[in-house]
Amino acid sequence: MTEEKKYKLLHDRPTCIGCAACPAVAPDFWEMTEDGLKSDIKGGKNLDNEWQELEIEEKDVEVNKEAAECCPVDCIHIEDKEGKRII
């Protein structure tokens, strides 16, 4: 049995304008902050550069890719395990 490939979901929070497109498309992974000014990755790890990251499985890539494509400021990215950016 092969292990499912892991991916990294990345959120450039400083660039986020809080349009709420990502939680509308992928509510299992995205939520708005209490003040409604930014979105957050649910369960995401806050990085020193104010970005967030979350390891996701291959089955979760497509819905998060849709969220990234809806983002008007392109602040959502997905990388494969080798660090190659998918979106």
**Residue 38, in any domain of the structure:** yes
pLDDT band at 4; cut points 50, 70, 90? low
Residue 85 lies in a domain: no
Q: Is 45 inside any structural domain?
A: yes
Q: Is residue 21 part of a domain?
A: yes
In a domain, 87, yes or no: no
Q: How many domains does the chain have?
A: 1
Give the model confidence (pLDDT) of 18-59 as tens digits.
999 999 999 999 999 999 999 999 999 999 999 999 999 999
Q: What is the largest CA-CA distance in the chain?
A: 45
User: Which domain, by its residues, includes 62?
Assistant: 6-80
Question: Does the residue 1 lie in any domain?
Answer: no
How many CA atoms within 13 Å lie on the side-chain side of 34?
A: 0
pTM exceeds 0.95: no
Whether 52 is covered by a domain: the verdict is yes
Q: What is the CATH number of the domain that holds 66?
A: 3.30.70.20
